[in-house]
Amino acid sequence: MSFDPARWTRIAVGDAALYLHPQGPDWFVPNAAGDAVLRGSAADCEAALFLGRLPDAAPAPYAGRHAALRLDRLAEVWLHVTDRCNLACRHCLFCSGPAAGRELPTAVALGRIAEAAALGCRLFAFTGGEPFCHPGFAALVADALAVPGSHVVILTNGTGFGDHAGLIDGWPRDRVHFQVSCDGLAPAHDALRGHGAFARLTADLAAARRLGFGLTLSFCPTAANLADLPEVIDLAAASGASGVHLMWHFTVGRGQGDQRPATDALFAAVTAAALRAEAAGVAIDNLAALKSQVFSPIGTRHDGATAGWESVAVGPDDRLYPSPALIGETALATPLTPGLETAWRTSPVLEALRRTTSATVPSPWRFILGGGDPDHAWRAAGRFDGPDPYLPLRERLAAWCILREAGAVPENRPGRPGLRLKMGETHESCHAHGEVALAHTNCLLSLAGASSLGHIKDFYTEAAAVEKGDIVNPVSYPLPMVDHIPAFYRVRGYGCGSPIADAGLAPGETVVDLGCGAGVECLIAARQVGPAGRAIGIDMLPAMLGRAVVAAKATAAVLGYANTFFLQGYLEALPLAEATADCITSNCVLNLSTRKRRLYAEIFRILKPGGRIVFSDVATETPASAAICNDPTLRGECISGTLTQRDLFAILEESGFTALRIIRRFPYRVVGGHAFYSVTVEARKPCAVVPRRKVLYRGPFRAVVTAGGEVVRAGEVREIALHEDDPAGHVLLILDEQGRIANPEFAPGGAACSCGAPDPAVAGLLQRLPARDDLTPLSLAPPPV
């Protein structure tokens, strides 16, 4: 199936354009030339190549999340343990205060914790009111922490850090996380929470930092405090908070309807705060969660939230609610008398929520953002599938995140149609349920899970000590390539090919091996480039680099010289200067990158002009399913991060590389019925001055397109800027000034063939033939009348 523009929605954002496929789901960002092609302003060879590079898969039928997901495990339980609070804030959803009476008895709460643990729950969130006001709070936290592998989150106004420091100090720092409320600077915060509340907050945040706990500041932007958002970012950085969580305003309880900011003002404030937070090293976890949705694999359908599926809330009335923000809504309460499991599985309220689907949402973002938030939909319209007043904001923020990522790398060929970014090239999520994912409840986002990079780190750190058979390199090196390496250090190579054998390294060259692991390929290169050359290995894992350094010392003792160096770094931020390398190699590592555009931009940057990259990687002929691409184990095994061969070559070209060619390919693995191949690819960075040569395309195809975009027809002689290196003349014959074939390795054919360079004697005879410059063209014009 070819690209069908009718299935896509174009969204213009300033001078850029974003194309969404609502049913895919899928998206891409073209450059200006590519957007012009899509809008019908070009119809040449470059346009045809560009259109053939675009997504063409038809979406699979989808009946909704209720048909795709099962109630396998209750992952998260919220316990609203009390309405009592030491403050009486003027915006509280639950009208909490010192005199509030509703409270979950300690024995009942302990029973709910035990029931949740039996259902697989490992995340226990305590909220209120102020949870520290509950008389049995210490026992509740202790029981939750007694569950193996559990994590406790406490939503608090922060006063507990001073008042209950002795209790808190005994809790494990790696398993207890605090989300502390802040309403802006002193005037805004004190106006809602009472005089002196902000001074107390800053003192309590300092106490939390001294105690060494991880915490997030939560901030609800309103019309009154929106201008304070940048300073809240600064406060988070100063207090050691890992991030800021934005709570979108509810008109309920003591919340006033006129305090919801306008979408334009809120978007401007959040994006400005995001830049400030990035500079300060603080995360805005709403944007982090949003990125995990937009930067997920192609075809991942986000459909609603975890509420009712993996996450439920127990109110102070000991009734079950879909989420903590909806506690107290009588129409949504489910009695817990039969027990937590029965209520969770059979509640008509939760079943109605689980049957809602973003498939019915009219927005083109429906399967990328998952539709509206059910809490805001219910509060605004009285139904779970109602309009979410904050969905337009999230859509604009999603587009902002995509276009900012697309603009993060330089455009090296702006005049030719291409893509700046495509869904799946940046990956920040590996937590989907196969092909269907649920957004986390908006009350807590910072603990939604580990990053993709974190999974990869864990996988390969283990691989440094315990061999993983699924990723061991199937290629064995010939003994002459490795006999200078002590036998102990020739093992434990993870990969899918042998790019170092195809790199054609020459003495004196600088070669850089990306994802060098234990360093065996650098050690092979060390002898090939000789004492005047350098072999540099880069890896993100200290455990692997430690092995490589030891192996390098042992190998240097055999060679008699040391020319191998190892550096720690990431693929997307290589610790080397521009134009360092003559050659870059990599063995089944590049597909692990979660930001492939940045990766190839970095490779292009550190290559010398005319330099080359030779790498082996896993690729597919057609896109793998979202279920495969979302599997964290398969990501570490070089499977779920793969590109199609078409996309791989397109990204290389769009990154500025030329002279692309596949050196070899063989079957690698079959996963879920999908074939994966090991491919070894070579690509070059253009020379500073590209030579112009006279060429002849020899056939058999009607024409070829060169790296410079020249179309050369069979039998046609053209003078072009020639990026390609074809010494044997397999495709293009290079001609000298006399029209002779100048490819240095060209073989004219058999002994009877005279199509190559003529015999010297024959050449001499040909030179003596008269030029006959006196001949005049025959006139075929009709006689004059």
Q: Tell me what pLDDT residue 745 has.
A: 86
Is 596 within 8 Å of 604 (Cβ atoms)? no
The separation between the first and the last C-alpha atoms of the chain, rounded to the nearest angstrom, is 61
Question: Does the pLDDT of residue 152 top 90, yes or no?
Answer: yes
Lowest mean pLDDT among 88-92, 362-366, 440-444, 553-557: 88-92
Question: Does the pLDDT of residue 95 top 70, yes or no?
Answer: no
More confident residue, 519 or 3: 519
Selection from 41-50, 140-149, 378-387 with the highest mean pLDDT: 140-149
Cα–Cα distances (Å) from 606 to 150, 574, 579, in that order, read 45, 8, 4
Over range 109-137, report the average pLDDT.
Answer: 94
Question: Does the pLDDT of residue 448 top 70, yes or no?
Answer: no
Provide the percentage of residues in the chain whose pLDDT is more than 70: 86
More confident residue, 1 or 215: 215
CA 677 to chain centre: 22
Question: Does the pLDDT of residue 68 top 60, yes or no?
Answer: yes
pLDDT digits (tens, 9 = 90+) for 389-431: 999 999 999 999 999 999 999 898 888 999 999 999 998 865 5
Dist CA 491 CA 699 (whole Å): 45
Bond before 700 cis per omega within 30 degrees: yes
Tokens 């989150």 sit on residue: 153
83 pLDDT band, cuts 50/70/90, is confident
456 pLDDT band, cuts 50/70/90, is very low
Cα–Cα distances (Å) from 54 to 1, 43, 340, 417, 650, in that order, read 11, 15, 49, 11, 10
Question: Does the pLDDT of residue 469 top 70, yes or no?
Answer: no
Read off the DSSP letter of residue 57.
P
More confident residue, 770 or 338: 338
Dist CA 678 CA 617 (whole Å): 6
Lowest mean pLDDT among 100-104, 212-216, 583-587: 100-104
Q: Tell me what pLDDT residue 453 has.
A: 41
Selection from 42-51, 205-214, 563-572 with the highest mean pLDDT: 563-572
Question: Does the pLDDT of residue 62 top 60, yes or no?
Answer: yes
567 pLDDT band, cuts 50/70/90, is very high
Lowest mean pLDDT among 38-42, 69-73, 457-461: 457-461
Residue closest to 676 by CA, chosen among 591, 586, 572, 585: 591
Over range 684-703, report the average pLDDT.
Answer: 90
Question: Does the pLDDT of residue 766 top 90, yes or no?
Answer: no
Question: Does the pLDDT of residue 779 top 80, yes or no?
Answer: no
Over range 74-83, report the average pLDDT.
Answer: 93
324 pLDDT band, cuts 50/70/90, is very high
Question: Does the pLDDT of residue 675 top 50, yes or no?
Answer: yes
Bond before 187 cis per omega within 30 degrees: no
Q: Tell me what pLDDT residue 602 has.
A: 97
Is 250 within 8 Å of 379 (Cβ atoms)? yes
Query: DSSP string spanning 261-293?
Result: PPHHHHHHHHHHHHHHHHHHT-EEHHHHHHHHH
Cα–Cα distances (Å) from 124 to 149, 353, 407, in that order, read 11, 22, 39
Over range 578-583, report the average pLDDT.
Answer: 97
Residues 6+ apart with CB under 8 A from 740: 757
Is 317 within 8 Å of 371 (Cβ atoms)? no
Q: Around 216, how many Cα atoms within 13 Å sit in the side-chain half-sphere?
A: 22
pLDDT digits (tens, 9 = 90+) for 47-58: 888 998 898 777
Average predicted confidence (pLDDT) for the chain: 87
3-state secondary structure of 225: coil
Question: Does the pLDDT of residue 586 top 80, yes or no?
Answer: yes
